[in-house]
């Protein structure tokens, strides 16, 4: 069995090519992909070759951890049925390429237990579940609700929405790009200069920009907490004397957990959390090279979706 897959051949080189798939066993499902999201953070570092080395990381590799599709084969021990709509947060099923994170392909072989059964009326929105669960993980990394979120990309927007959907006061969100400050729903998105005099007990940085850390510390109250929710590809440092005088705490929000996914799905099912309005661009697999350039470089692109229903 083969699949069309997006492959980073080496840093800076992307292709769409056919790859042989590993044979499924009784615990596996075969998923026909419908939509895959492009991560403008993690995948950009993989593409540029700036991602810190992880176990199993090598080129060529298949990126992606934001795929939704339909089960077309289900092993007896997979816990899934043919026809199930599932979210796939990654796969490692290729004979000729590493799976890091491995879900950007037209067909996937993955353990059924690794998939998340979904029932979205707009299936492409299910591709946002990894980001939504990451946002939930960041929100609850601190015991106190954040009143400031830095970065109004998809992750920052989802953090703001989850803060509100869990019964907390609406946060302020900063973004340095004027075009990115539109689209706030139930909260205010501003530049840092418009929020000059505000102080906060908890701040979440979703920008992944190390340059904002000192600015964020300056806006914390004494014994406030800064939660780092972005991924920082290089050394993180900050002005220690100022942080010392405030006696701040700093936390890192890493990977989401199954409990975060369950909580997000419950909020969506209850009508308290919406994933709408976050997907701005679509592309056919054949145009993947241009799609990735847009996702990485166009500030108007919040989330690029690869539509696998179109022939690769």
pLDDT given at position 44 = 92
d(CA 13, CA 215): 36
| Longest CA–CA separation in the chain, Å | 61
226 pairs with which residues across the strands? Answer: 203, 250
| Ramachandran bin of 74, using left for φ above 0, alpha for ψ from -120 to 50, beta for the remaining angles | beta
- Of 129, 176, 174, the closest CA to residue 156 belongs to 174
- Which tops the pLDDT comparison, 57 or 117? 117
Give the chain's end-to-end CA distance (angstroms, integer). Answer: 16
**Degrees, nearest 5: CA angle 266-268-272:** 100
Q: What is the pLDDT of residue 50?
A: 86
What pLDDT is recorded for position 56?
72
Q: Which CATH code is given to the segment(s) 2-122+276-307? A: 3.90.180.10
Q: Is the peptide bond before 101 cis (omega within 30 degrees of 0)?
A: yes
pLDDT digits (tens, 9 = 90+) for 160-170: 999 999 999 99
13's tokens? 């080189």
Q: How confident is the model at residue 53 (pLDDT cuts 50, 70, 90)?
A: confident
Looking at domain 130-252, its CATH superfamily turns out to be NAD(P)-binding Rossmann-like Domain (3.40.50.720)
- In which band, very low, low, confident or very high, does the pLDDT at 195 lie, cut at 50, 70 and 90? confident
Segments making up each domain of the chain, as ranges:
2-122+276-307, 130-252
Q: What is the pLDDT of residue 255?
A: 87
Give residue-wise pLDDT tens across range 270-312.
Answer: 999 999 999 999 999 999 999 999 999 998 999 999 999 986 5
- CA angle, corner 83, sides to 79 and 87, nearest 5? 70
Cα 45 from Cα 171, distance rounded (Å): 29
pLDDT-above-70 percentage for the chain: 99
pLDDT at position 196, please?
73
Q: What is the pLDDT of residue 100?
A: 73
């Amino acid at each position: 069995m083969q699949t069309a897959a997006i492959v980073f051949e080496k840093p800076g080189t992307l292709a769409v090519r056919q790859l042989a798939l590993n044979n499924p066993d009784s615990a596996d499902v075969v998923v026909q992909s419908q939509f895959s999201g492009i991560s403008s953070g993690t995948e950009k570092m993989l593409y540029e070759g700036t991602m810190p080395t992880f176990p199993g990381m090598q080129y060529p590799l298949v990126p992606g951890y934001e795929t939704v599709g339909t089960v077309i084969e289900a092993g007896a021990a997979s816990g899934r049925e043919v026809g199930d709509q599932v979210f796939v947060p990654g796969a490692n099923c290729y004979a000729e390429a590493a799976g890091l994170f491995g879900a950007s392909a037209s067909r996937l072989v993955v353990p059924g237990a690794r998939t998340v059964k979904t029932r979205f009326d707009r299936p492409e929105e299910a591709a946002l579940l990894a980001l939504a669960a990451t946002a939930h993980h960041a929100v609850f990394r601190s015991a106190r609700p954040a009143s400031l979120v830095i970065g109004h990309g998809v992750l920052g927007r989802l953090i703001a929405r989850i803060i509100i959907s869990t019964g907390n006061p609406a946060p302020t969100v900063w973004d340095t790009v004027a075009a990115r400050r539109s689209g706030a729903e139930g909260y205010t998105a501003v530049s840092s200069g418009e929020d000059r005099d505000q102080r906060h007990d908890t701040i979440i940085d979703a920008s992944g920009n190390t340059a904002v850390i000192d600015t964020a510390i300056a806006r914390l109250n004494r014994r406030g907490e800064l939660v780092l929710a972005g991924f920082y590809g290089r050394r993180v440092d900050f002005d220690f004397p100022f942080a010392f005088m405030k006696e701040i705490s700093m936390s890192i929000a890493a990977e989401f957990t199954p409990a975060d996914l369950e909580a997000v799905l419950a909020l969506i099912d209850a009508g308290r959390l919406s994933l709408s309005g976050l997907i701005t661009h679509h592309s056919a697999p054949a145009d993947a090279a241009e799609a990735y350039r847009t996702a990485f470089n166009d500030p108007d692109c919040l989330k690029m979706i690869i539509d696998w229903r179109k022939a690769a």
